[in-house]
Amino acid sequence: MKTSILCRIALLVAFSVAVAPRLGAADVTINVRDVFYFTEVAPANIDLGNNPPLTLTAGVTYDFAVSTSSFHPIFFTDDTSNARNTASRNYEAVCGPGPYNNGLTQTSSGHILFTPPAPPAGQNSYTIAYLCALHGISYSNLITVNRAPVVSVPVVLINPGYSNSTFTVSCQTVVGSNYIFQVIPSLAQTNWQSLSTNAGDGSVQTFQHVSETGQAFYRIQVK
């Protein structure tokens, strides 16, 4: 008699990940004029005012479209003290060039494409500042970078199958999450056995288990 495996697929399993919207090269465009007047022009039109404190979201790409006089180049710094000045180090010295999508970190005429990195583990936000490279704190304010909001993303298990004593199932993965493939012979039990752990890479990944038992139940946990 051909062995069959009963597969109970948990379609209601969900997990939480930080998801930042992606709209293109830049998610938010902010015009910066003298000295420094900020206006969000995309996706919304919001007058932020003169030298305002700013609130950004980690993982979102901001296009700071700067057009000021040559006497007012703007840059970001990790120096948030009241003593910050023209000698304060550029934020690139802290985080490297990665967050600066086009490599430009200071300008009076150009585009700073900036994707703030996530806050350190255990923190929901951190603070940096923007600063005039020639006039220091006279034209400056703080920038609060918040962790991306957590949303619930459903885990959809697709293409389950059993052939040659091997059960297979696939699911869409997300970068930064781990997918734990588990099995249990009966739902009356609670000791799920972990078969494998796959790191999410944004692709559809397939999980397999060789078994010749009469029945089994499978699930994928995401952490």
Beta strands 62-67 and 28-33 are parallel
What confidence score (pLDDT) does residue 151 get?
A: 61
Q: 200, 177 in Cβ contact below 8 A?
A: yes
Residue 39: count other Cβ atoms within 10 Å of its Cβ: 15
pLDDT in tens, 11-21: 333 344 444 44
- Tell whether omega for the bond before 43 is within 30 degrees of 0, i.e. cis: yes
Q: Which amino acid is at 106?
A: Q
What confidence score (pLDDT) does residue 101 get?
A: 84
Angle at 30 (CA atoms; ends 127, 120), nearest 5 degrees: 25
pLDDT in tens, 46-96: 999 999 999 999 988 999 999 999 999 999 999 999 999 999 999 998 888
What confidence score (pLDDT) does residue 17 get?
A: 42
Distance CA 218, CA 209 (A): 10
User: What would the 3-class secondary structure string for 35-68 be?
Assistant: CCEEEEEECCCEEEEECCCEEEECCCCEEEEEEC
What is the pTM assigned to this prediction?
Answer: 0.62
Distance CA 41, CA 56 (A): 15
* Backbone angles phi and psi of 155, in degrees to 5: -95, 115
Residue 40 CB burial class (10 angstroms; 0-12, 13-18, ≥19): middle
Q: 22, 202 in Cβ contact below 8 A?
A: no
- Divide the 223 residues of the chain into consecutive groups of 10 and give the mean pLDDT of each group: 39 39 70 96 95 94 95 96 95 86 91 91 92 96 89 79 91 83 90 91 90 83 85
What confidence score (pLDDT) does residue 215 get?
A: 82
In order of their start, the domains of the chain are 20-146 (2.60.40.420), 151-222 (2.60.40)
